[in-house]
Amino acid sequence: MTNRFDPLWSLGLMSGTSMDGIDAAMLLTDGETISEFGASAEFAYLDDERAAIAVALEHGFAWRTAPDDRLRVAEDAVIQSHAAAVARLLCGEGAQPGLIGFHGQTIAHSPAEGWTWQIGDGAILAKAVNRPVVWDFRSADMVAGGEGAPLAPFFHFALAKHIGATEPLAFLNIGGVANVTWIDPRKTAPEEDGALLAFDTGPGNALLNDWMTRHGREPLDRDGGEAAKGSVATALLAANATTEFLARTPPKSLDRNEFALTLDRISDLSLPDGAATLTALTAECIARAQKHMPTPPARWLVCGGGRRNPVMMQMLSDRLSAPVEAVESVGLNGDTLEAQAFAYLAVRASRGLPLSAPDTTGCARPLTGGKISRP
């Protein structure tokens, strides 16, 4: 008979609003500490899958009351692509997961209304992969008055302990939207008062990706190549970095399209100047987040696609008051951290442990969440 807190292998699946694909990662954990990192991989969406999901992102708010057949196409694409990712990751020999942590694909997020929408039915996925699936991680938090996001901070706390941090630090994730977790690793548990502060800082890569797409390029500024050739339009940067959201006290979260008007405001810029200005906007919003933190972090550890953009990283270094490093500098994998987070949260949810707290999402009290569907 095993102790119910013995570590078990869990497989996390994450598809962000940047729509580049699915991250899948294995993690051995008891839901509190990290025992071992397992296999991981990124699986790009097929063109038709990405197109169906892009339509869902465009129409998510309208489909809340008037869905059409394109919603079914998008949901099918999400399930099929995630089931294929599980099969491909597990096709070789090695550890097999006792749980799947399935985030789904966010197509709309409105914390002011207490509503968020991730498409992809975990019960259908459980049958497709023949394993228990933990999903719908955000609803319980929103019912309790939370923003439903970000949810990775409890995992970030475990990572801070895992790497032996001894003073406050920040994990910065630059995906479609950028979010930060300030951590005091001297605390004993993530739900403890003062252990965490987490919030979305503003746009991450989404605007930059959309800008590149508008100009007929691949949906990212690879290695910051265009931004490096451009100049920041200072006046436009200032105009777009003075929103009510940036001043609001956290916790707080964003829908991917919250800053979408920015693209129209910079439409007269050249491709390189627009890329430079949008990259600077992400960095400036992150820099302004420092004023909300209890104490300055001793270091910034960056994950997500943004860490691969040297122009973005240099702009952050110029604006932040502590060293800025990719998480690889402490032996972590920045491509799979969010997938690992949902593997970790799946185990916590299965054991009734908290997934969020007032200082991470604004919920009324530390609380668990998620649904468990079995094949």
Query: For 114-132, how does the pLDDT look when each residue is reduced to its tens digit (9 = 90+)?
Result: 899 999 999 999 999 999 9
Lowest mean pLDDT segment, chosen from 53-57, 153-157, 277-281: 53-57
Percentage of the chain beyond pLDDT 70 is 98
Pull the structure tokens for residue 125.
């996925």
Evaluate if residue 93 carries a pLDDT over 80.
no
Q: Which residues contact 119 (CB under 8 A, 6 or more apart)?
A: 56, 71, 74, 75, 78, 104, 105, 107
Q: Give the per-residue pLDDT at 97.
A: 97
Computed over every residue of the chain, the mean pLDDT equals: 94
Top CATH class of 164-330 equals alpha beta
Q: Which residues have C-beta within 8 Å of that of residue 187, sequence separation ≥ 6?
A: 157, 194, 195
Question: Tokens 């399209």 belong to which residue?
Answer: 257
Gyration radius of the chain over CA positions: 19
Say if residues 141 and 148 touch (Cβ distance below 8 Å). yes
State residue 1's pLDDT score: 32
Confidence of residue 319 (pLDDT cuts 50, 70, 90): very high
Reported as a pLDDT band with limits 50, 70 and 90, residue 176 is: confident
- Output the pLDDT for position 318: 98
pLDDT of residue 2: 41
The yes-or-no answer to whether 8-150+339-373 and 164-330 have a common fold is yes
Q: What is the mean pLDDT of residues 275-303?
A: 97
Q: Is residue 298 scored above 90 in pLDDT?
A: yes
Q: How confident is the model at residue 71 (pLDDT cuts 50, 70, 90)?
A: very high
**CA dihedral angle for residue 115, residue 106, residue 304, residue 154, rounded to 10 degrees:** 50
Nearest to 196 by CA among 218, 165, 229, 169: 169
The string of pLDDT tens digits covering residues 353-374 is 999 999 999 999 999 999 999 9
Task: Kindly report, residue by residue over 323-346, the tens digit of the pLDDT.
Answer: 999 999 999 999 899 999 999 999
- Global pTM exceeds 0.75: yes
User: Residue 96 pLDDT more than 90?
Assistant: yes
Correct CATH for 8-150+339-373 of 3.40.50.150, 3.40.190.10, 3.30.420.40, 3.40.50.2000: 3.30.420.40
Query: With contact defined as beta carbons under 8 Å apart, do 39 and 91 qualify?
Result: no
**Mean pLDDT, residues 30-36:** 97
pLDDT reported for residue 4? 59
Percent of the chain with pLDDT over 90: 84
Domain ranges of the chain: 8-150+339-373, 164-330
> Is the per-residue pLDDT at 138 higher than 60?
yes
How far is residue 18's CA from residue 174's CA, in Å, rounded to a whole number? 10
- 289 Cβ contact partners less than 8 Å away, ≥ 6 residues apart: 180, 199, 201, 202
Please give the angle made by the CA atoms of 181, 185 and 190, to the nearest 5 degrees.
65
Note the pLDDT tens digit of each residue in 205-233. 999 999 999 999 998 999 999 999 999 99
The pLDDT, as a whole number, for residue 201 is 95
Burial of 246 (0-12, 13-18, 19+ CB in 10 A): middle
